[in-house]
Homo-oligomer: A and B are copies of this chain.
Amino acid sequence: MRRVTVRDVAARAGVSVSTVSRYLNGSLRVRPAVAERIDGAVAALGYRPHPLARRLATNSARTIGLLVPGITNPFFARLAEELETSAYDHGGYSVLLCDTKSLASREREYTELLSHGLVDGLVYCGMNPANEALAEAIERGLPVVLVDEDVEGLPPVPRVFVENAEGARRATAYLVSLGHRRIAYVGGPGELMTARERLRGHREALEAASIAFDPALARMGPYTDAFGFDAMNDLWRAGERPTAVLAANDYQAAGVMRAARALGLRVPEELSVVGFDDMPLSRYLTPALTTVHQPVEEIARQALDTLLGSIQGRDGAVMNRVLAVELVVRESAAPPASGRVGA
């Protein structure tokens, strides 16, 4: 069963292929009789334009790439969902999913693959500080927007981040306002900008409260439940007894809570815990996790707008968008058990 092409439609409608093409693309008003004949032929033959052929001819893939460290991370899943919806609504763009498993090698390979016509643009959420292929791709003209995490050594490229430092600042300030002074910090890996920024915010908030930052109360590592668990146990074993801990990620916070429970600590009565990201998970924890909310929809919208802007050659994209975060107070933080702490 051969494929039905414009040619067949044209033949049946008794017009030329270009007329069919233009009529179907709406770039032409034909007279009613012709229109009717074309419509008839299309229906009779069951004609459908071949997307690949169209894309090759127009030099537009009508697809954007979404590169993420892991689609099972709810943050990226939400981002994917929102992006996909927006893309679909903005002229029927499709989304090619690239899951790198946080591997630098995959990030490179995918960037390579995408950068030669497969997609019209790329929303890039890296988990590694560098990507040579990305720099090249951007130089060659691939529209790219960086989301969430920074990449070094790139030509100027629009970025959409959130107020990482401010989020940690607020979370810490909140803990301070509750009366905590021994606040432990479980943070992300130092190579990541988000991790560094959140740490910075934490330290600034401590400073503002005239509390000295104590390195012995801080642990840095991967954004995982397991690391949070280990970090908390480690803290305790080392004789560091914070009354509160701020985790730079909800998975880590969940791990901290799990460890606290294992250590016989009641949350929030004996230990306050605050997270970061506001994953769905945080609502299901007991007690429900107080955490810093990321405006995922907004991130997705801004990223897509910016990307579509540069794809369509619209210039003057805002280069750095920094979106506001919000502290969501739930149940995992309370005043320290020992009552107020002396100055």
Q: Which residues of A contact B (CB under 8 A)?
A: 1, 48-53, 55-56, 61, 63, 66, 70-72, 74, 77-78, 80-81, 84-85, 92, 94-99, 101, 113, 115-118, 140-141, 254, 280-281, 284-286
> How far does the Cβ of A135 sit from chain B's closest Cβ, in whole Å?
14
Q: B81, A71: Cβ atoms under 8 Å?
A: yes
Once the chains are docked, how many angstroms separate the CA of A152 from the CA of B129? 49
> Would B116 and A49 count as touching, CB distance under 8 A?
yes
How far is it, in angstroms, between the C-alpha of A116 and the C-alpha of B49 when the chains are bound?
Answer: 8
The 6 closest A-B pairs by CB, nearest first: A286-B286, A48-B116, A97-B97, A72-B77, A51-B118, A50-B117
Q: Which of B56, B92, B285 is close to A284, meaning CB atoms less than 8 Å apart?
A: B285
Please measure, in the bound complex, the distance between the C-alpha atom of A281 and the C-alpha atom of B72, giving whole angstroms: 12
Q: How far is the CA of A96 from the CA of B97 in the complex (A)?
A: 6
Complex contacts, A101 vs chain B, CB 8 Å = 85
Least Cβ–Cβ distance between A140 and chain B, in angstroms: 8
Count copies of this chain in the complex: 2
Shortest A260–chain B CB gap in Å is 12
CA distance A61 to B280 in the complex (A): 36
15 chain-A/chain-B pairs, Cβ below 8 angstroms = A50-B56, A50-B116, A51-B116, A51-B117, A52-B118, A53-B117, A56-B56, A84-B97, A84-B99, A94-B97, A95-B96, A95-B97, A284-B284, A285-B286, A286-B286
Closest B residue to A97 by CB, please name it.
B97
- Chain B contacts for A71, CB-based, 8 A: 71, 77, 80-81, 84
How far is the CB of A10 from the nearest CB of chain B, in Å? 18
Name the contact of A94 in the complex, choosing from B1, B51, B53, B113 (C-beta under 8 A). Answer: B113
Q: How far is the CA of A282 from the CA of B306 in the complex (A)?
A: 38
* B contact residues around A51 at 8 Å (CB): 113, 116-118
Nearest-Cβ distance from residue A105 to partner chain B, whole angstroms: 12
**Cβ distance A92 to chain B, nearest Cβ, rounded Å:** 8
Q: A50-B116, A96-B97 are in contact. List 8 more A-B contacts (CB 8 A).
A: A48-B116, A63-B96, A70-B81, A72-B74, A74-B74, A77-B77, A84-B97, A95-B97
Asked if B55 contacts A52 (CB within 8 A), the reply is: yes
| Residue in B closest to A49 when the chains form the complex, CB atoms | B116
In the complex, A97 Cα to B117 Cα: how many Å? 18
Q: Could you say which residues of chain B place their CB within 8 Å of the CB of A116?
A: 48-51
- Given the interface contacts A284-B254, A285-B286, does A80 sit within 8 Å of B99 by beta carbon? yes
Among A56, A113, A285, chain B packs the most CB atoms within 10 A around the CB of A56
